[in-house]
Amino acid sequence: MLIKLTGGTVYDPANGIDGQVRNLFIRDGRIVHSLNGATPDQEYDLRGKVVMAGAIDMHTHIGGGKVTIARNLLPEDHRADPEPRRGLMRAGCGHAAPSTLTTGYRYAEMGYTAGFEPAVLPINARQAHMEMADVPLLDVGGYVMLGSDDFFLRLLSAGSDQKLINDYVAWTIRSAKAIGIKVVNPGGISAFKFNQRMLDLDEKHVYYGVTPRQILKSLARAVHELGVPHPLHVHGCNLGVPGNVETTLNTISGIEGLPMHLTHIQFHSYGVEGDRKFSSGAARIAEAINANKNITIDVGQILFGQTVTASGDSMRQHANAGHAHPDKWVCMDIECDAGCGVVPFKYRDKNFVNALQWCIGLETFLLIDDPWRVFLTTDHPNGAPFTTYPHLIRLLMDKSFRNDMLATINPEAAALSTLGSIDREYSLYEIAIMTRAGAARLLGLTDRGHLGAGAAADITVYTDQADKEKMFTRPDYVFKDGELVVRNGEVVKVVWGNLHTVQPEFDNGIEARLRDYFDRYHTMKLDNFVINDWEIEGDGRSKILVHPCHQGTRS
């Protein structure tokens, strides 16, 4: 199949193209330089249209145990957003924790072609993959969670050689079919099982005697030394605690130059100034990120309304359960491996804390200089459902709209924020970096997030409009691996995405040790824990894509 996309205005930051009129050519799902004189089977006239690679959400809770707990917890939320069967699309439900099918349709309708689940518990990875397999139209991948699992904490506590830890990390990535490593409240999920209610960066876990700082360094080093492209993905200590800006700054300096991604940093950027002892730490965080090139972040912007927070951080979720709205919540201790907490939440624009959280997120976006190191997320669904992205993009691109919104929120919060004095507006090029090129680069996806020859033809075409929310809500066309899947914001074809993984090398000696550990302490056999290729590819929908690791060569 040969396709020509004619005359679109192309934003392709990976290839330095900033709004130039170009033709694009697709041959059998891939972008090519030209069709070598062949007549295209299809041609799309994109004159006057904006063309970008398909968008990539690098942190979105779309599959796995805690998402389905959230689904089961909130039937009333689903009832308010039914999704009837129509056309090619099966029925489902939406809003905060949508059904998997609806998740895929709605992402695609906004021009997204990939989403990465950031909290895959090793023991629950199979479920995460089964759910993500039922998300149509999106490529997927997962970051597998370590750092509160007994096996790692035991290795660290015993002062094990980093090489052994690296082997375990690599084995876990491969067994769970993941693309990266996530750590959530390092050691804290485990500490909560021992009745510790907080664990600061240099505080010792009562059983293992190790600190979050040690955990972060060990895991960041493992990821780096294994050559896994995506840096250690960190949900830090003290989420949501006023004053946690200090913890976050210490976390940045404590990693000693190793690559590290700090996720939903908005929730970790709180000061204690002012009468309410709650203030914005965004400026200090942005300054630290501008100065430390080894650090990347995603924001975890909150937007006002009902949502649900679903996290591996059982310790902090339990501590925040009193804020649940509606008043119900679930926490779990999981398999000496991890945990989770699901707490419904309603962010209110007239509430001082929520309004300031909103400001802090936007300040963070606007004060960080380098769009290649900041990513557009709401930590779906924790800050807001992913369907709010077009609104968030407008807030970033349209200063007068942003200030209009600022005028409606809690006035005390607005007065404490510097947001009104920030003039920056993101350009389309910068949006394309944050949501495409940068995300692909951060994950090591060499053939996604750009429109150069050899890239997979995941392409989104918009009509440029003054109202960026409208523009990004409803693309004209979305192509997934070269197939037209969305036209005028409607799904016209349902395809199934790929699973992106890495397979770092390791010394297989670790497996004998793990086999014995599983036999003695776990409740399943090691062979049944490891996810096999047939489990992903067996029904012919998903394909496993393996991205290279560059062991020992990355800077």
Partner 1 sequence: MTDKTSAKVWENVPSPFCGIASDDLRIEVCGSSVRVLANGDAVTVPGFERPVTDTAPRIAGEPASLEDAVRRAAEILKEARLPVFSGFGTDVNDTRAALALIDKVRGIFDQARAAGGVRNLLALADSGWIATTLAEVKNRVEVLLVFGSDVEAAFPRFFERFVWNRETLFGQDPARREVICVGRAPSGDAAVSPDGRRPQVVECDPRHLPELAAALSALARGASLQAETVGGIPVVVLRGIVERLRRSSYSVVTWVAGQLDFAHADLTVQQVCQMVALLNKETRAAVLPLGGQDGDRTASQVCAWLTGYPTRVSFARGFPEYDPYLNDASRLLKDGEADALVWVSSLSPAPPPAAEVPTVVIGRSGMQFDEEPEVYIPVGVPGIDHAGHMYRCDNVVAMPLYALRDCGLTTAAAVLAAIEQSL
Taking CB under 8 A as the rule, does residue 527 contact partner 1?
Answer: yes
Q: Which is nearer to partner 1, 195 or 553 (CB)?
A: 195
The site string for partner 1 over 333-372 (x = CB under 8 A, - otherwise) reads xxxxx----x------------------------------
* Interface with partner 1 (CB under 8 A), residue from 78, 213, 217, 441: 78
Closest C-alpha to 303, from 377, 192, 388, 209 = 388
Taking CB under 8 A as the rule, does residue 313 contact partner 1?
Answer: no
Closest C-alpha to 150, from 197, 205, 198 = 205
Cα angle for residues 69, 74, 77 (degrees, 5° grid): 140
> Measured between alpha carbons, how far is 78 from 101 in angstroms, rounded to an integer?
14
Please, what is the minimum distance in Å from the beta carbon of residue 388 to partner 1? 19
Taking CB under 8 A as the rule, does residue 441 contact partner 1?
Answer: no
What DSSP assignment string belongs to 359-386? Answer: HHHHHHHHH-S-GGGEE---TTTTSS-G
Question: Interface with partner 1 by CB under 8 A: which range of 26-34, 327-335, 502-510, 542-550?
Answer: 327-335
> Measured between alpha carbons, how far is 352 from 393 in angstroms, rounded to an integer?
23
Please, what is the minimum distance in Å from the beta carbon of residue 522 to partner 1? 6
Taking CB under 8 A as the rule, does residue 65 contact partner 1?
Answer: yes
Q: Which is nearer to partner 1, 521 or 550 (CB)?
A: 521
Taking CB under 8 A as the rule, does residue 495 contact partner 1?
Answer: no
Please, what is the minimum distance in Å from the beta carbon of residue 321 to partner 1? 8
Q: Is 464 helix (H, G, I), strand (E, B) or coil?
A: coil
Burial (Cβ within 10 Å: 0-12, 13-18, ≥19) of residue 276: middle
Question: Interface with partner 1 by CB under 8 A: which range of 329-337, 377-385, 498-506, 547-555?
Answer: 329-337
Please, what is the minimum distance in Å from the beta carbon of residue 127 to partner 1? 5
Closest C-alpha to 93, from 112, 77, 72, 114 = 77
Question: Interface with partner 1 by CB under 8 A: which range of 44-52, 283-291, 296-304, 514-522?
Answer: 514-522
Taking CB under 8 A as the rule, does residue 320 contact partner 1?
Answer: no
What DSSP assignment string belongs to 294-313? Answer: TEEEE-----SEEEEEEES-
CB 343 within 8 A of CB 317: yes
Size of the site for partner 1 (CB under 8 A): 68
* Residue that the structure tokens 């039937």 belong to: 75
Segment holding 52, helix H or strand E: strand 49-53
Residues 104 to 123: which contact partner 1 by CB under 8 A? Answer: 121, 123
Q: Which residues bind partner 1 (CB under 8 A)?
A: 63, 65, 67-69, 71-75, 78-79, 82-85, 90-93, 97-102, 121, 123-124, 126-127, 130-131, 134, 150, 192-195, 207, 318, 324, 327-337, 342, 520-525, 527-528, 531-532, 534-535, 538-539
